[in-house]
Amino acid sequence: MDTYGKVTGPDAPREGVQVDTADRPATAAGQGATTKFELGRGLDVGTANLASAIQDAEGNVTIKLQRNAFIDIEMDDYTRNMLTRLNVQYVVLDNRMIVVGDAAFELANIFNRETRRPMKAGVVSPGEKDALPIERMLLENLLGKPQKEGEVCYFSVPAEPIDSDFNVIYHQGVFEGILKKLGYHAKFLVEGHAVVFSELAEDDFTGIGISCGGGMFNVCVAYKSIPALSFSTSRGGDWIDRNVANVLGIKASRATAIKERGVNLLSPRNREEEAIEIYYRNLIQYALENIKSRFESADGMPSFPTAVDIVCAGGTSMIGGFVEVFQDVFEDIKFPIQVKNIRRAEDPLYSVAKGCLVAALSET
């Protein structure tokens, strides 16, 4: 199942984004005009980022990534000219200019505003009335049309949360509908399971995959690729940003930018980074305690014959010192499963999209 090539690292440019495995230029749609791609797509539907994955005939994977965010701006000649000069694309909706994706995040930071977010805590945001047309627009840009009507697209959905009361039925239905309209045959894959597919091939797809995202942590315990237990906890990177923003009196989008700029949890350099470190430790503690108590109460947990790995994926695991702090907290918790190594996925931000792609390719 380990069929994909290696993608470039998380530091690859985000804008537009082609994270290309082969040294070939990709077109704006992320698909070189002459490159032949396998049928089957992977799509990570995340609170903070949307990522698509596709594989060419040589096994190289192309990932496209966009922030799952938008911003609306008053329509006037000055702003319109400025956006045109900056080469920022926009659409007009209800007489306002809407900028989506990475450009929206950058503009929010320039104007000291918040981005609007179509998703919250893993699912379509109940408080964002424009969520659905924006998601449609973002996915259309990211995926384009299928190569063939009915091409399979596996998309990620969160597992049921253990610390809040909602289900993912509506969310799942909405994305199935959008993908179907684009011409894909949409199938869902639980997010933690996608991490198992992309990161635990060498362990015979046995172990614990955790996707540490913007809205949630998604956990999957798998034995030989079969999920024994999947669940989520509903705090992630956004929770850190909100809290850091509160204590520092800044916008959450600004806190996100500071956090992503290259902080090391083991050596914070100023007041902002100290706040990030404090909330990060708390988040990891919260997630691990929830995971532990869920494991202890679980029926049907596999009793692994040998110790297994925990692999952390997702953008929230990318911060410097994440694995060290995770290990630190882990050592103080009496964990009910024997664990061999705690490690970070090679490309944390692309792990779920790659896992969804593995599922799609194994079917077509």
Ligand X SMILES: Nc1ncnc2c1ncn2[C@@H]1O[C@H](COP(=O)(O)OP(=O)(O)OP(=O)(O)O)[C@@H](O)[C@H]1O
Query: Residues interacting with Mg ion, by CB under 5 A?
Result: 46, 211, 213
Rg (CA), the chain: 20
Rounded alpha-carbon distances, angstroms, from residue 180 to 24, 27, 153, 195: 30, 24, 9, 24
In whole angstroms, what is the distance from residue 167 CA to residue 162 CA? Answer: 10
32/321 with CB nearer ligand X: 321
- Is residue 275 within 8 Å of residue 248, measured between CB atoms? yes
Q: Which of residues 22-51 bind ligand X (CB under 6 A)?
A: 44, 46-49
- Is residue 121 within 8 Å of residue 242, measured between CB atoms? no
Instruction: Kindly state the smallest distance separating residue 287's Cβ from Mg ion, in Å.
Output: 14
Examine residue 141 and tell whether it contacts ligand X (CB under 6 A): no
- Judged by DSSP in three states, 74 sits in strand
Instruction: Please enumerate in sequence order all residues whose Cβ is within 8 A of that of 269, keeping only pairs 6 or more positions apart, or say none.
Output: none
The pair of structure tokens assigned to 37 is: 């791609």
46/268 with CB nearer Mg ion: 46
In whole angstroms, what is the distance from residue 110 CA to residue 181 CA? Answer: 35
In whole angstroms, what is the distance from residue 186 CA to residue 363 CA? Answer: 12
Examine residue 318 and tell whether it contacts ligand X (CB under 6 A): yes
| Helix-helix angle 237-248:271-297, to 10 degrees | 140
215/223 with CB nearer ligand X: 215
Residue with nearest beta carbon to ligand X? 237
Residue among 244, 246, 283 nearest 260 (CA): 244
- Is residue 39 within 8 Å of residue 47, measured between CB atoms? no
Q: Which of 316, 342, 356, 357 binds ligand X (CB under 6 A)?
A: 316
97/153 with CB nearer ligand X: 153
51/222 with CB nearer ligand X: 51
- Is residue 241 within 8 Å of residue 260, measured between CB atoms? no
Q: Which of residues 218-277 bind ligand X (CB under 6 A)?
A: 236-238, 256, 259-260
Residue 284, H or E segment: helix 271-297
Q: Which of 118, 144, 207, 213 binds ligand X (CB under 6 A)?
A: 213
Q: Which of 66, 115, 211, 253 binds ligand X (CB under 6 A)?
A: 211
Q: Which of 108, 168, 284, 319 binds ligand X (CB under 6 A)?
A: 319
146/215 with CB nearer ligand X: 215
CA angle centred on 197, ends 340 and 289, rounded to 5°: 50
Examine residue 349 and tell whether it contacts ligand X (CB under 6 A): yes
Examine residue 290 and tell whether it contacts ligand X (CB under 6 A): no
Q: Which of residues 110-139 bind ligand X (CB under 6 A)?
A: 122
Instruction: Kindly state the smallest distance separating residue 92's Cβ from ligand X, in Å.
Output: 27
* Of 70-78, 146-154, 285-293, 309-317: span binding ligand X (CB under 6 A): 309-317
Instruction: Kindly state the smallest distance separating residue 198's Cβ from Mg ion, in Å.
Output: 12
CA angle centred on 161, ends 160 and 164, rounded to 5°: 130
118/315 with CB nearer ligand X: 315
Where do contacts with ligand X occur on this chain (CB under 6 A)? 44, 46-49, 122, 191, 211, 213-216, 236-238, 256, 259-260, 314-316, 318-319, 349
